[in-house]
Amino acid sequence: MLAATAVVPPATANGADPLPSWNDTAAKQAIVAFVETVTKEGSPDFVPVDERIATFDNDGTLWAEQPMYFQLLFALDRVKVLAPQHPEWKTNDPFASLLKGDMKTALSGGEPAIMQIVAATHSGMTTDEFDQIVRDWIGTARHPVTKRPYTEMVYQPMLEVLTYLRDNGFKTFIVSGGGIDFMRPWSETVYGIPPEQVVGSSGKTDFLMRGGVPVLMRLPEINFIDDKAGKPVGIHEHIGRRPIAAFGNSDGDLQMLQWASGGGGRRLALIVHHTDDIREWAYDRNSSIGHLDKSLDAARDNGWTVVDMKDDWKTIFPFGDKRD
């Protein structure tokens, strides 16, 4: 049946190809064969609509993550905006180096330095205020290389997969190491994924009445890190069902891919491999951003689908590619 479905071109109800930005290679055929099999009534691998859950990593899977995670670029922009209220930052690292434009020294403190930057820029306001800060930034900030809005730095072939799955009864979720409240203000417009279907890392919040008005204050404390073994935990907590399809691009997605593919029955586990240094970026085993090593080995050992961006994608971004 696999062979039979693989040679039939994928089609939507009106006969159009639902994945026009994909070359007709093994990756596209695997996606189409999976969707056709699990949606075919009477098939031994048929999955009822309610259980058609698909989870997507965000950074490097739905949108780009070079030259660094976009949420970190947001945090750096916020440090500049907030600096006048924090004279002590002039002398204290990582802030002092950041404000001097010396990114290398600023980030040399590793994860603790990054957490300091995140805490200083992501807490101390209400959830409604943070929502507005993110909306303002995402509506005006530009990617340092392409000068495009970040919301255009999304992968056209993956947008097509999201729509194709939803057209076939799937519920699509983001499951990202990124901040849940950083993604929610724009996930519905950009991906068609509503806030309640976004799973991500989060800080603690505190409910209180402020002058008679109920608010949720964002605290400088980690609540949950939705990465690596945290991804199946976050999926269980938020969704309460096991995905039958999962999409990632790095070692941070390994456990999500294991969890989704280990459920019995027909499953799709897919890795986006960044192989195109001309149209996008090329990086994997030696990269700190989007580090892809164990997951690539696991893909080979388990027969997961690996997308070779260079060969499998006709188009990268809705506007073209990095050079446009």
Token look-up 């001309």 returns 278
Query: Smaller CB distance to a copy of itself: residue 236 or 314?
Result: 236
Torsion of CA 179, 182, 188, 193, to 10 degrees: 0
Query: Smaller CB distance to a copy of itself: residue 148 or 228?
Result: 228
Nearest approach in angstroms of CB 252 to a copy of itself is 13
Helices 127-140 and 70-82 cross at an angle (nearest 10°) of: 110
The 8-class DSSP code of residue 9 comes to P
Nearest alpha carbon to residue 199 among 230, 235, 248: 235
Q: Tell me how crowded residue 244 is: count the other CB atoms within 10 A of its CB.
A: 24
Distance between CA atoms of residues 167 and 158, nearest Å:
14
Q: How many CA atoms lie within 13 A of 165 on its CB side?
A: 30
Query: Smaller CB distance to a copy of itself: residue 65 or 181?
Result: 181
Nearest approach in angstroms of CB 292 to a copy of itself is 20
Query: Smaller CB distance to a copy of itself: residue 53 or 75?
Result: 53
Query: Smaller CB distance to a copy of itself: residue 29 or 261?
Result: 261
Torsion of CA 99, 105, 110, 114, to 10 degrees: 0
Nearest approach in angstroms of CB 188 to a copy of itself is 7
Nearest approach in angstroms of CB 171 to a copy of itself is 7
∠ CA(223), CA(225), CA(226), 5° rounding?
125
Q: CB–CB of 236/158 below 8 Å? A: no
Query: Smaller CB distance to a copy of itself: residue 92 or 223?
Result: 223
Query: Smaller CB distance to a copy of itself: residue 53 or 292?
Result: 53
Nearest approach in angstroms of CB 201 to a copy of itself is 11
∠ CA(214), CA(79), CA(286), 5° rounding?
110
Nearest approach in angstroms of CB 231 to a copy of itself is 8
Contact set with a copy of itself (CB under 8 A): 50, 53, 127, 171, 180-181, 184, 188, 194-198, 202, 205-209, 213-214, 216, 223, 229-230, 232-233, 236-241, 255, 258-259, 262
Nearest alpha carbon to residue 133 among 74, 187, 177: 74
Query: Smaller CB distance to a copy of itself: residue 32 or 193?
Result: 193
Query: Smaller CB distance to a copy of itself: residue 196 or 311?
Result: 196
For CA atoms 63, 67, 70, 71, the dihedral sign is positive
Nearest approach in angstroms of CB 205 to a copy of itself is 5
Query: Hey, what are 163's tokens?
Result: 């729509």
Nearest approach in angstroms of CB 11 to a copy of itself is 29
Nearest approach in angstroms of CB 100 to a copy of itself is 36
Distance between CA atoms of residues 303 and 292, nearest Å:
16
